[in-house]
């Protein structure tokens, strides 16, 4: 076709995590026993009370259009959740429900960015952050974070990245892909800088329920009223409630930003799935024991994986404090040959793992770091043991 298509859209790259997962699933379909440490999705079923709520919505005929910013009942429930869990006071007019937290992030960036604006992204970063920023006609500015500092931003590095064009900071705590979680003091440092410089914080808190070792999730918006006014809190149902396919996320922000996001969404999607929102409201209102059961299971797997990885010669990892990911350091393997393939970076290692050991890992280059691969422990303990045994055998040769 000779018709000129969108130059901006043609520059958008496909998700490496989904590409690895697709290849792994294709191999599985061919009868190959593949262990996947790939896409971050809870391996638990959606809790039964949430499923029943969806059926109840169908039976009651709650299947029609609702407000662009989301089902009024659900927005009220979200306000209560934010008050109870995060010490944040919002009204329904501050809440915009979207088709998953990724959609919420996109709405937020579209609402605040103008061409040439810069958005600071700590590295390693979730694979979609860079592309979402570019889709909003803004420029991603990367701040490298060291493994020694648990992949978290230092004050001087953040200050060095700020320019007159800086519009926002994308803050993910707990983090995908690192599992890192910012402390109150670290959040206060970022908040002070953001307030002083007039920078918006987009706080991606989708993994807030999955924290370990007695850690407490703190929302940066809860620190004071000034940073709250400059923060767009992003959350959703997918990770804590095993509702990835239900596609429900939400934001909490000041009224001006919320109105813009609601207007954008009214034309782009009308509103999220009414049935899923009704079920999500019940999920937040009812017994939370299923969330804690999942968290405990993830914690057990986390501890095992950290210990096991650090027993394998040539690789290592630090202990993540949240989410369900581990960044495995493969820097000592670079320049070496494994199973007849020279390992020059994370993509080489990921390819050889899948092709030779039938283990799917995500190359760190997808997250802006090439000395690491990401492993998800949203998998059964049996598969985790088997997968790590295969990786050790591959490295040993």
Domain boundary among the residues 244, 265, 285 is at 285
Per-residue pLDDT tens over the stretch 237-270? 999 999 999 999 999 999 999 999 999 999 999 9
* pLDDT value at residue 273: 97
Domain boundary among the residues 244, 260, 285 is at 285
State CA 169 to chain mean position distance: 15
Residue 160 sits at the vertex; the CA angle it makes with 155 and 166, to the nearest 5 degrees, is 105
| Average confidence (pLDDT) over 118-132 | 97
Are 158 and 19 in a shared domain? Answer: no
Q: Write down how long the chain is.
A: 397
46 is written with which tokens? 């959606």
Give the structural domain span for 22. Answer: 7-45+290-396
Nearest Cα neighbor of 122 from 94, 142, 106 is 142
Contacts 24+ apart (CB under 8 A), 51-58: 51/279, 53/278, 53/279, 53/281, 53/282, 53/283, 54/275, 54/276, 54/278, 54/279, 56/278, 56/282, 57/274, 57/275, 57/278, 57/279, 58/275
Supply φ then ψ for residue 363, to 5 degrees: -65, 140
Are 164 and 255 in a shared domain? Answer: yes
Residue 55 included in any domain = yes
Q: Which residues pair with 200 in a beta bridge?
A: 168
Q: 95-98 and 35-36: which strand pairing? A: unpaired
CA–CA separation, 222 and 66 (whole Å): 30
Q: Are 94 and 258 in contact (CB under 8 A)?
A: yes
Write down the mean pLDDT value for the chain: 96
Are 258 and 303 in a shared domain? Answer: no
| Residue 391 reports pLDDT greater than 90 | yes
Q: Are 232 and 202 in contact (CB under 8 A)?
A: yes
CA–CA separation, 57 and 235 (whole Å): 23
Q: What is the CATH number of the domain that holds 307?
A: 3.90.1150.10
Three-class secondary structure assignment of 267-299: HHCCCCCHHHHHHHHHHHHCCCHHHHHHHHHHH
Buried/exposed 302-331: b ≥16 CB within 10 Å, e otherwise: beebbebbeebebbbbbebbbbbbbbbbbb
| Average confidence (pLDDT) over 321-335 | 98
Q: What is the CATH number of the domain that holds 105?
A: 3.40.640.10
* pLDDT value at residue 1: 65
- DSSP conformational letter for 311: T
| Average confidence (pLDDT) over 223-246 | 98
Are 306 and 241 in a shared domain? Answer: no
Are 146 and 195 in a shared domain? Answer: yes
State the number of CA atoms in the 13 A half-sphere of 97 facing the CB: 30
Q: How far is CA 153 from CA 92, 129, 147, in A?
A: 33, 16, 11
| Average confidence (pLDDT) over 85-96 | 98
| Residue 42 reports pLDDT greater than 80 | yes
Give 23's pLDDT tier (boundaries 50, 70, 90).
confident
Are 355 and 227 in a shared domain? Answer: no
Per-residue pLDDT tens over the stretch 150-206? 999 999 999 999 999 999 999 999 999 999 999 999 999 999 999 999 999 999 999
- DSSP conformational letter for 242: T
Are 295 and 380 in a shared domain? Answer: yes
pLDDT above 70 covers a percentage of the chain that reads 100
């Amino acid at each position: 076709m000779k018709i000129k298509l969108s130059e901006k859209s043609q520059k958008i790259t496909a998700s490496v995590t989904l590409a690895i997962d697709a290849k792994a699933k294709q191999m599985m379909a061919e009868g190959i026993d593949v262990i996947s440490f790939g896409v971050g999705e809870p391996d638990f079923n959606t809790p039964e009370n949430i499923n029943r709520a969806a059926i109840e919505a169908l039976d009651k005929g709650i299947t029609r259009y609702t407000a662009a910013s989301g089902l009024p009942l659900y927005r009220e429930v979200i306000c209560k959740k934010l008050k109870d869990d995060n010490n944040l006071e919002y009204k329904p007019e501050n809440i915009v429900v979207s088709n998953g937290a990724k959609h919420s992030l996109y709405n937020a960036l579209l609402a605040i960015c103008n061409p040439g604006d810069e958005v600071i992204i700590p590295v390693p970063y979730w694979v979609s952050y860079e592309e979402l920023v570019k889709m909003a006609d803004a420029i991603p500015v990367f701040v490298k974070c060291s493994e020694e500092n648990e992949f978290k931003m230092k004050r001087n590095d953040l200050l060095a990245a700020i320019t007159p064009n800086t519009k926002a900071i994308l803050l993910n705590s707990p983090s995908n892909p690192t599992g890192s979680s910012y402390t109150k003091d670290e959040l206060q440092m970022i908040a002070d800088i953001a307030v002083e410089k007039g920078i918006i914080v987009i706080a991606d808190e989708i993994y807030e329920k999955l924290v370990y070792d007695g850690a407490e999730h703190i929302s940066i918006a809860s620190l004071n009223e000034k940073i709250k006014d400059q923060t767009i809190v992003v959350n959703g149902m997918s990770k804590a409630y095993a509702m990835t396919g239900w596609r429900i996320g939400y934001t909490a922000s000041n009224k001006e930003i919320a109105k813009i996001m609601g207007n954008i969404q009214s034309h782009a999607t009308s509103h999220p799935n009414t049935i899923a929102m009704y079920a999500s409201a019940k999920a937040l209102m009812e017994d939370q024991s299923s969330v804690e059961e999942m968290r405990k299971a993830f914690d057990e797997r986390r501890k095992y994986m950290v210990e096991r990885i650090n027993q394998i010669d040539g690789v290592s990892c630090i202990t993540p404090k949240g989410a369900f990911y581990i960044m495995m350091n493969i820097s000592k393997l670079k320049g070496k040959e494994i199973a007849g393939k020279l390992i020059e970076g994370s993509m080489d290692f990921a390819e050889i793992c899948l092709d030779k050991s039938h283990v799917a890992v995500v190359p760190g280059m997808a997250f802006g770091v090439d000395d690491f691969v990401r492993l998800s422990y949203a998998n059964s303990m049996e598969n985790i043991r088997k997968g790590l045994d295969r990786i050790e055998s591959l490295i040993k040769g």
